């Protein structure tokens, strides 16, 4: 259950918590000074790290760098402030799917945890009564987190292009008015979420045969009020398909038929198994064969709809689900959408597509300058007979700190790729749960930040040595005792 809707958020409680967080950070603040050199190129400042995406992964990465005294960092997000990530846009679940006690963005600071925020906002008893955190509260927590830590975010900046210019990454952005901006950076972190390595997938027979106003993907803005009294078809077996089905019914749809290719609705959630320290912290250290076998099984299981999400649909008598009923074609018949299935034709007024996303770096226009040079799993690993997976093979094969690897080590872009870190859902086969997953964020963020700091220090090793050799600040300033 959520917090009592009659209880107003406590501004006094949050103000006290903010002060407590800042004191915590001051108490453990060691070392106490930045250590990276301030570089510029032709008078243009150079960022140590540019982060694309101001959702949970991007914010937590910036905080981890801040804790490591790397502050020449900036976060860019295409959304307006408060609209980063899915939580108040296309996410249509009531609550998060993860257990309420999950931690992650806090990086081990107790007063920065979701629990501390929730108790300060609604009270201790509200937390005790809570089942899972409402998604709107999660966004509010992230907004507070950003403000409390003073994280440097530029909103309304759409990432357009990156190129390698004289050993630096030159980034191109565009704002909502179409104005172009450029920044130089040494490191680039892609924290662009679940679709950051591809694009949301709508089957070609839907795209090519139906008018655009008759279908939508679950990731899109959908006018559910306009679907009141309509017959809705939903394609997909995942949680988002069920979330959208429930939302349509709650907004007055006449009926919803959810169709899935599988013979049985998935019931086992591998994410709950993965939530153990061994897997979360050390999965990337496994040999390729084991990583492949883990991920092949996890991807085949897929995530089921949570029990409360399933009952959210089933409580409506006009909801139905149809297993073994993948769609094979679609067309218009007068004013009706006709979908072909193994069970025969089904007729709807509108269809919602919940078939996830396609993993293909070439589908991301902002990555076009280097996508063709990136090593994929299929380039680096041949699976045992009978364990093939085209899906896993399409994912990028990453280094130990999420950095892209070149398909050909002689590629002129090899150094560029080493400075681009893929902290998206697409990192999962290489790195396990990471930035696009709350469950694995703490471990993934710490690994990423350590790798970024390591690379920056090693690249500047000679500069740091010169800095030491020129260090002449005396500590012993007097040879006479003070009472002499």
Distance (Å, rounded) from C-alpha 239 to C-alpha 338? Answer: 24
The total of other beta-carbon atoms located within 10 Å of residue 64's CB is: 22
Q: Average model confidence (pLDDT) for the chain? A: 95
Q: What pLDDT, on the 0 to 100 scale, is given for residue 2?
A: 46
Nearest to 261 by CA among 197, 203, 325: 325
Least reliable range by pLDDT among 102-106, 148-152, 288-292: 102-106
The fold for domain 11-197+359-464 equals FAD/NAD(P)-binding domain (3.50.50)
Distance (Å, rounded) from C-alpha 252 to C-alpha 247? Answer: 9
The angle at the Cα of 204, spanning 200 to 209, to the nearest 5 degrees, equals 125
Q: What pLDDT, on the 0 to 100 scale, is given for residue 302?
A: 80
The angle at the Cα of 307, spanning 353 to 253, to the nearest 5 degrees, equals 45
Say whether pLDDT at 447 is over 90.
yes
Per-residue pLDDT reduced to its tens digit, 62-93: 999 999 999 999 999 999 999 999 999 999 99
3-state helix, strand, coil in the chain (%, to 5): 40, 20, 40
Nearest to 84 by CA among 160, 142, 9, 40: 142
Which residues in 368-387 are b (16+ Cβ under 10 Å) and which e?
A: ebbbebbbbbbeebebeeee
Sequence-ordered alpha helix ranges (H) in 68-108? none
Helix (H) or strand (E) holding 256: strand 255-259
Say whether pLDDT at 4 is over 90.
no
Question: Could you give the C-alpha distances from 353 to 138, 205, 215, 258, 342, in angstroms and in order?
Answer: 26, 12, 7, 10, 18
Sequence-ordered alpha helix ranges (H) in 124-186? 124-129, 135-149
Quickly state the pLDDT bin for 369 (edges 50, 70, 90).
very high
How large is the average pLDDT for residues 141-149? Answer: 97
How large is the average pLDDT for residues 376-391? Answer: 97
444, two tokens: 């993934």
Question: Could you give the C-alpha distances from 102 to 109, 114, 408, in angstroms and in order?
Answer: 13, 8, 40
Distance (Å, rounded) from C-alpha 8 to C-alpha 53? Answer: 30
Say whether pLDDT at 3 is over 50.
no
Superfamily name and number for 202-267+304-355? FAD/NAD(P)-binding domain (3.50.50.60)
Q: What pLDDT, on the 0 to 100 scale, is given for residue 434?
A: 82
Per-residue pLDDT reduced to its tens digit, 303-355: 889 999 999 999 999 999 999 999 999 999 999 999 999 989 999 999 999 99
Place of tokens 């106490």: 32
Q: What pLDDT, on the 0 to 100 scale, is given for residue 7?
A: 54
How large is the average pLDDT for residues 364-392? Answer: 97
Quickly state the pLDDT bin for 1 (edges 50, 70, 90).
very low
Quickly state the pLDDT bin for 157 (edges 50, 70, 90).
very high
User: Domain extents for the chain?
Assistant: 11-197+359-464, 202-267+304-355
Q: What pLDDT, on the 0 to 100 scale, is given for residue 484?
A: 61
Least reliable range by pLDDT among 55-59, 72-76, 205-209, 272-276: 272-276
Distance (Å, rounded) from C-alpha 287 to C-alpha 344? Answer: 46
Q: What pLDDT, on the 0 to 100 scale, is given for residue 435?
A: 72
Cβ within 8 Å of residue 14, ≥6 positions away: 117, 120, 121, 144
Quickly state the pLDDT bin for 483 (edges 50, 70, 90).
confident
Please indicate whether the domains covering 11-197+359-464 and 202-267+304-355 agree at the CATH topology level.
yes
Say whether pLDDT at 150 is over 50.
yes
How large is the average pLDDT for residues 130-138? Answer: 95
Per-residue pLDDT reduced to its tens digit, 197-238: 999 999 999 999 999 999 999 999 999 999 999 999 999 999
How large is the average pLDDT for residues 377-403? Answer: 97
């Amino acid at each position: 259950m959520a917090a009592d809707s009659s209880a107003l958020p406590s501004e006094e409680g949050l103000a006290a918590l903010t002060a407590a967080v800042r004191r915590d950070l001051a108490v453990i603040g060691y070392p106490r000074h930045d250590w990276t050199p301030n570089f510029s190129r032709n008078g243009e400042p150079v960022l140590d790290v540019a982060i694309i995406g101001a959702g949970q992964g991007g914010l937590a990465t910036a905080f981890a760098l801040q804790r490591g005294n790397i502050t020449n960092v900036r976060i860019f997000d295409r959304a307006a402030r408060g609209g980063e990530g899915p939580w108040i846009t296309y996410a249509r679940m009531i609550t998060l799917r993860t257990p309420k006690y999950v931690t992650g963005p806090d990086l081990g600071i107790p007063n920065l945890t979701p629990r501390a925020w929730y108790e300060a906002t609604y009270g201790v008893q509200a937390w005790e009564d809570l089942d899972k955190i409402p998604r709107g509260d999660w966004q509010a927590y992230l907004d507070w987190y950003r403000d409390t830590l003073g994280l440097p975010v530029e909103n309304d900046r759409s990432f357009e292009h990156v190129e390698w210019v004289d050993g630096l990454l030159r980034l191109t952005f565009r704002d909502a008015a179409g104005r172009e901006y450029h920044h130089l950076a040494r490191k680039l972190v892609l924290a662009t979420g679940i679709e950051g390595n591809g694009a949301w997938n709508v089957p070609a027979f839907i795209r090519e045969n139906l008018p655009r106003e008759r279908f939508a993907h679950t990731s899109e803005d959908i006018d559910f009020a306009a679907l009141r009294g309509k017959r809705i078809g939903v394609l997909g077996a995942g949680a988002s398909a069920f979330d959208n089905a429930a939302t349509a019914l709650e907004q007055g749809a006449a009926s919803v038929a959810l169709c899935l290719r599988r013979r049985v609705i998935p019931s086992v959630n591998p994410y709950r198994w993965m939530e153990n320290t061994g897997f979360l912290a050390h999965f990337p250290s496994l040999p390729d064969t084991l990583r492949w076998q883990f991920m092949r099984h996890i991807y085949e299981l897929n995530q089921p709809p949570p029990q409360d999400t399933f009952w959210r649909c089933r409580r409506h008598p006009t909801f139905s689900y149809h297993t073994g009923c993948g769609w094979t074609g679609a067309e218009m018949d007068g004013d009706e959408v006709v979908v072909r299935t193994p069970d025969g034709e089904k007729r709807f007024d509108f269809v919602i597509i919940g078939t996830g996303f396609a993993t293909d770096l070439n589908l991301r226009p902002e990555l076009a300058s280097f996508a063709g040079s990136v090593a994929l799993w299929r380039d680096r690993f041949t699976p045992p007979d009978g364990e093939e997976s085209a899906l896993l093979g399409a994912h990028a094969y990453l280094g130990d700190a999420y950095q892209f690897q070149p398909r050909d080590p002689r590629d002129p872009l090899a150094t560029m790729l080493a400075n681009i870190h893929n902290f998206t859902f697409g990192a999962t086969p290489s790195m396990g749960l990471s930035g696009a997953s709350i469950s694995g964020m703490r471990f993934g963020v710490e690994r990423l930040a350590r790798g970024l700091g390591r690379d920056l220090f090693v690249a500047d090793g000679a500069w740091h040595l010169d800095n030491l050799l020129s260090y002449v600040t005396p500590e012993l300033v007097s040879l006479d005792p003070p009472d002499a």
